[in-house]
Structure 1
Amino acid sequence: MRLIDELAARRVYYHRPLPTLPDILLIDIPPRFSGGDLALGRYYPVILESLAEMHEFEAYLCEPRMTLVAPALLDRRPSALRTSDIIFARYEPQAPNWPWLLICFWPQSCTAMVPPSADTFARGSYTIDAYSTEGQLTDAELKLLGTLGPEHARIVHLGATRLGHA
């Protein structure tokens, strides 16, 4: 069996809204494997920082296996990207009936405050949340900005939504 035929048969690429952010492959996990640990109970996001990683991950999904495994190839790989600011970016659905994504890219000064064993940051630098509507995403952004407070709000950048393709 292959992950691409079973666990990851339904998936969509979300293109990076800024050149300095990653692409996201969002896998819609079949109901028999889904659960509360997944975004909206069913989605598994994969952070792809380069075209090479995209190819590597697609090859991983296509490998024959004896049993199904979680598509966690890149989950613990350290991010190759760096930031000194907290960056929020919206990832617009690339197909109907797929969720909005909010990715937060955290600088090392923030991630160092959390024990590595806490498994809080994907690839050591990111948090990702999924929302059914743009309004829910906006509410979450505002709540997060309010939590950070005025001393941090000045370093938060809201990534613009992609308006077209070049």
Structure 2
Amino acid sequence: MRLIDHLAARRIYYQRPLPTLPDILLIDVPSQFSGQGLALDRYYPVIVETVAEAHEFEAFLCERRKRLIAPALLDRRPSALLTEDIIFARYSPPAPNWPWLQLCCWPRHYVALALDPEEGFARGAFTIDAFDDAESIGAAEARLLATLGSTEPRLVQPIPAPLGRA
């Protein structure tokens, strides 16, 4: 069996809103495998920093295996992104019926404060959440900002798509 045929059959790439941020591959996990621990109880986000990683991950999904495994190939790989600022980045849905994503990039000194950084931060630097709409993501950002006190994170908004065609 292959993950691409079962666990990751429905997936979509969210393009980075800035060249220095990662792309996100979002897997819509089938209902028999979904539940707590996944974004909105059904989505598995994969943070992809380079084109080479995207190819590597697609090859990983295509490998034949005896049983299904979690698509965690890149989860523990250290991020190449180094930042001194907290970054909140919104990723708009690339197609209808997909969620909004909020990627938070955390400086190393914030990550070091966590009880279990390996479990709490993907690639040692990121947290990610999914939301049904842009208003929900705004409310989540407001809650995070309230907990940060005087710290001012950098907010990255998606670039609106053009409405017409040439």
| TM superposition score category, shorter chain reference | over 0.9
SS of 2:5's partner is coil
Shift of 1:116: 4.1
Shift of 1:127: 0.3
- Percent identity of paired positions between Structure 1 and Structure 2: 61
SS of 2:130's partner is strand
Measure, in 2, the Cα distance between the counterparts of 1:160 and 1:133.
Answer: 14
Residue number in structure 1 paired with 2:154: 157
Shift of 1:162: 2.0
Residue number in structure 2 paired with 1:135: 135
Which blocks of at least 5 consecutive residues in structure 1 are unaligned?
A: none
Measure, in 2, the Cα distance between the counterparts of 1:80 and 1:118.
Answer: 16
Measure, in 1, the Cα distance between the counterparts of 2:51 and 2:115.
Answer: 30
Are 2:71 and 1:74 equivalent residues in the alignment? no
Are 2:32 and 1:35 equivalent residues in the alignment? no
Shift of 1:160: 2.2
Measure, in 1, the Cα distance between the counterparts of 2:61 and 2:7.
Answer: 9
Residue number in structure 1 paired with 2:145: 145
Measure, in 1, the Cα distance between the counterparts of 2:80 and 2:56.
Answer: 15
Measure, in 1, the Cα distance between the counterparts of 2:108 and 2:156.
Answer: 19
Residue number in structure 2 paired with 1:19: 19
C-alpha distance after superposition, 1:76-115 (max 9, x if no partner): 1111111110000000001101000000000011111124
Measure, in 2, the Cα distance between the counterparts of 1:62 and 1:164.
Answer: 32
Question: What one-letter code is carried by the residue in structure 2 that aligns with 1:162?
Answer: I
Contact 2:86–2:105, Cα closer than 8 Å, also in 1: yes
Question: What one-letter code is carried by the residue in structure 2 that aligns with 1:27?
Answer: I
C-alpha distance after superposition, 1:48-77 (max 9, x if no partner): 000000000000000011100000000111
SS of 2:27's partner is strand
Residue number in structure 2 paired with 1:6: 6
* Pairwise CA RMSD: 1.2
SS of 1:136's partner is helix
SS of 2:30's partner is coil
Shift of 1:31: 0.2
Shift of 1:118: 5.7
The TM-score, its normalising length taken from structure 2, stands at 0.94
SS of 1:32's partner is helix
Shift of 1:46: 0.1
Aligned length: 162
Question: What one-letter code is carried by the residue in structure 2 that aligns with 1:105?
Answer: C
